[in-house]
Every structure is written in C-alpha cells, then in structure tokens.
Amino acid sequence: MPARVAMQQISKIYPNGVVANHKVDFAVEKGEIHALVGENGAGKSTLMKLLYGLEQPTHGAIFLEGRRVEIANPQRAIHLGIGMVHQNFMLAPSFTIAENVVLGNEPRKGRLVDHKRAIAITAALSAKFGLQVDPTARIEATPVGMRQRAEILKTLFRGADLLILDEPTAVLTPQETDELFWAVRNLVDQGKTVIFITHKLGEVKEIADRVTVMRHGEVAGRVATREVTEADLARMMVGRAVLLSSYARPAVRGKVVAAVHNLGCIDETGRPVLRNVTFAVHAGEILGVAGVEGNGQSELVEVMAGLRAVATGEIRINGKAVQGASVREMRANGVAHIPEDRLANGVALDASIAENLVVDRYHRPPFTRYGVLWPRSVRQHATALMQQFDIRGAGPGASLRSLSGGNQQKVVAAREFSAAPVLLIAAQPTRGVDIGATEFVHGQLLAKRNAGAAVLLVSADLSEVLRLADRIVVMVKGEIAGILENGPQLTEETLGVYMLGRNRPTP
C-alpha cells in the first residue's frame, strides 16, 4: 500500500545559493503520527512549506498515495486534503469560533451568512473529533487551547485528512497538551494522518509512531519512536550529546535588584491587565513567571522594559524609581530585554546582523568615537558574537531577514546577554529555537545569574521554568496567585492546575 505522502529526492536551493533541503526522502504512512524534528535551519520548515505549496522544490517529486502531484499553492494543497495548523494562529480575533471555522466557505441563507448553520457545523465537527469549543465565543475572549482547537477544526472543515501541526504545544499548559494529544489520537483513529513538528523530544516519545530527524538540510535518521530515547534523538539532531536536566540552585540570594510594588496597567481599551502586582527579583537568582498566555505576563514584561505605561504602583531598579522611563532610560539603568515577539520589539529585519547587534549601544565607544560611527568596530563585535552564539548567516553584513527564525532569536539573545545587565528580562527566550540552542541559552541565563545578575524568566514552557527558576510567580488574570519556592515537589502538572485558576498556591 503506497504511503499517504512520499517526498523523494527533494532539494530546495534559493536564488542566493542557500541549500535548505538536499536530496531529502520523507514518507508518512496513512493513519500514523509522524514527528519531524531538527535544529533551526535544519530544513524541516522548508520541507513542510514545499508540501503545503508555500514554496516550490528545485528538484524532486511529491507523491500522494502513489500518485505524483504538483502543489503550486496552499489552495491546491487543501484540495488534495493537506492542511496546516501554524504555530502563530491565523484567526480573526473579533470573530466567533464558528465564524473563523467557516471563513471563506460560509454557509449561505440567500445572500447572507447563515450563522445558525455555521454554529451547527462547528458543533458537529467539535463533537465528531473530540475538539471541544464554544462555537459562539469570540476568539479574543477564548483561552489559547481553545483557539488552537478552532484552528484544527477550520482545517478539518476544509476536508483535510493529512494535518501538519507546527509546534502545536508551544503555548499550552500540560493539561491542555494532554487534551490536544487525546484529540490527535482520536483524529488518527478516525482515519486522519498527522505530521507533528516539535522541539520537545518528550512529546515525540509520547505521541509519535515514527520520527524523521533532519540536520543541515538532510535526513539524519528515520526511526520508530519506541526504539530510541530522548537522548538518542537529541544526539541525532545536534551531532553530540545534549544535557537538559535540572540545575543546582544557589544557596543564598543577594540584594534586591528589581522591586515591583502594587503595579497596575490598563490596555488600549481601558481594561485592567495588571492588578496590584508585587514581587522582587534578587541578585543571583532566576525568578520564573508561569501563567497561561494572556494572563498579564506580556504586559508585565513590557512595563518593566519601558515599552508600556504604568497606571499605578512603582518599579525600582537598585532602589531607583524608574516607572515611566523610556526604553533607552531603562537600558541605561541596567535592564536588558529578550522580547516575546522578536519581530515587533527585537529586530530590524532589513538591517544587517551587525547593525542589529549594536542597535542599543552604537552611540557609545568603541562603536562611536567623537560622534563618528566606526564600522570596523561594529563588524568585529558582530563577528565575535556570531561565533560565540553560533549565529548561522552569510556574515555580519547579511540582512537579518536572510536568517532562519531560530538564528534571528540567537541575534537577540546575543545582544542582550552581551549588554552586562543588572536585570535581564527574558520573555520566551527559547521559543522557536532548537535543542542545541536551548541548551546554550539556558547556560547563558545561569551564567548571568551566577555572575550576580537578577533574571526575570517568562516562559510558556513549564519544563523550562522548573528547570531554571529558583522561585516561580504564578499569574492568573493579571494578578499574582502566589510565589513558590522551586524544588522537587513542584511539578508541571501542579503548576498547570494553578495557571488554569483551579487552585491557588500558598504565597
């Protein structure tokens, strides 16, 4: 019986000479969950873009159930039964779930959209595939897990029987991840086939039947999941052993570096998004922040980085009140910031790698002397950081846009880590980066902590928070539900319950 999809000898060479895929053979059997893993820049995203019609192969062929096909665009992919659920949800926030599910294919009642029929269609799909949603809820008011289920339902409504899930658990709690895995298994039981792209090797072991590992644009291995360990997969991905275990905690905290007292913030509509937030970050510690996305973590980071106005309360850095300070003033006070959204707040895509690495310090020596920018110093600085942080690009003068998402994140991390901060705010610092880069970023966070910096770590990856943080703040609906000492007794499941507001930890 032919494979549901077979990609044979696929190569993708871009006009600038970059080889993203080189003679890749990739096959997925009907009715299986097949994981696709690899480092940033390994070629897995490009391979899936080719399968979904977002890119065209330079060489090679694609077969669906033994029949060769040309996939010129996503519309053709959908017609062939291929659907893709992107990591960044493609939903209209002001629409209901039902309106999003049928968007572009709305049922009609005369010339008008038949909203009752749209709700009925969504409810029926939800019941059939075990993807529980409220069809009448507006996307902007729903939790992240329900938004993701809406994305999957939208794909199923369009007739997909082969689903590509791109980093589907990146923003989910453990409980929501369990619900997603149950739903994915249910989809397969009903005849669907799933390609599961993830950086979390524990998830590969839990959910996938087989796994294809890519490295440097080629297939490094293809194995049955039950026959390998997480360490085996990491070694195949990176080419060496990778250590991602819990780290020793510091014995004594230093002085308070950052203190937040009764902090309040309102959004653009006048809605409170932070209420009476109070905590302190000490020198020599990593304070983790855990919470389901949308519970005030993003606003907290933006306020502390000078990107958002304070409504009430105060922020002190080394005893100095800094609420209301600009971004440059915050940086002058020793605050560095790895932003959650690197495209919005972290990089200039059309500027060079070198320019992005000095955007916060170009006006100071050694980059500027007597009011004149010294390009040689900028270039030397960039060359050193590219080597230290393994930033893979054509050179310091290459545009940031030419880098993969993971390497763009490395540029941001390199700039912020090299700023010698007294307070490092790291928001989702390893989102979208591979296991090797994650190991490196974790090592850098610990090095900053051990050197006496205060680190505020905000991450949707609970394993990351538990691995690194000395204490953990739990946020629910813009408030602090509790501050917990980290230790062996604290688990992802326990934190997940608190994050969902089903229980409250003891402060």
Q: What is the pLDDT of residues 277-317, one digit of tens each?
A: 999 999 999 999 998 777 899 899 999 999 999 999 999 99
What is the CA 268 to chain-centroid distance, rounded?
Answer: 25
CATH 3.40.50.300 boundaries in the chain:
5-238, 251-334+421-507
Kindly state the average pLDDT of the residues 19-44: 91
pLDDT at 465 over 50: yes
Only one residue has tokens 């890519």, namely 214
- Count the alpha carbons within 13 Å of 261 in the hemisphere toward its beta carbon: 10
**pLDDT score for 67:** 96
Q: What is the per-residue pLDDT for 432? A: 67
Q: Count each helix (H run) and each strand (E run) in the chain, helices first.
A: 17, 24
pLDDT in tens, 110-152: 889 899 999 999 999 999 998 999 999 999 888 778 888 999 9
Report CA-CA distances (Å) from 491 to 25, 203, 483: 39, 17, 14
Radius of gyration in angstroms for the set of CA atoms belonging to the chain, rounded to a whole number: 24
pLDDT for the residue numbered 503: 59
Q: Is 346 a residue whose pLDDT tops 50?
A: yes
Flag whether pLDDT at 85 surpasses 70: yes
Mean pLDDT score of the chain, rounded to an integer?
Answer: 89
Q: Give the Cα separation of 194 and 28 in Å (integer).
A: 9
Query: Across residues 406-427, what is the average pLDDT?
Result: 92
List the CATH code of the domain at 251-334+421-507: 3.40.50.300
Look at residue 506 in the predicted model and tell me its pLDDT: 43
Interatomic CA distance for residues 147 and 162, integer angstroms: 20
The residue with greater pLDDT, 187 or 463, is 187
User: How does residue 376 score in pLDDT terms, banded at 50, 70 and 90?
Assistant: very high
**Cβ atoms of residues 390 and 434 within 8 Å:** no
Beta strands 162-166; 82-85: pairing state: parallel
Whether the per-residue pLDDT at 249 is higher than 70: the answer is no
Model pLDDT for residues 142-201, shown as the tens digit of each residue: 877 888 899 999 999 999 999 999 888 876 767 778 888 999 999 999 999 999 998 788
Q: What is the pLDDT of residue 243?
A: 62
Q: Which fold, 5-238?
A: Rossmann fold (3.40.50)
Asked if 32 contacts 189 with a C-beta cutoff of 8 angstroms, the reply is no
Instruction: Give the pLDDT score at 245.
Output: 57
In this predicted model, which residue has the larger pLDDT, 51 or 492?
Answer: 51
Question: Is the predicted pLDDT of residue 505 greater than 50, yes or no?
Answer: no
Quick one: which H or E segment has residue 317? strand 312-317
Sign of the four-CA dihedral 455, 304, 427, 391: negative
Q: Tell me the mean pLDDT in the region 260-274.
A: 91
Q: Bigger pLDDT: 212 or 15?
A: 212
pLDDT of residue 244: 58
Q: 8 — alpha (psi -120 to 50), left (phi > 0) or beta?
A: beta
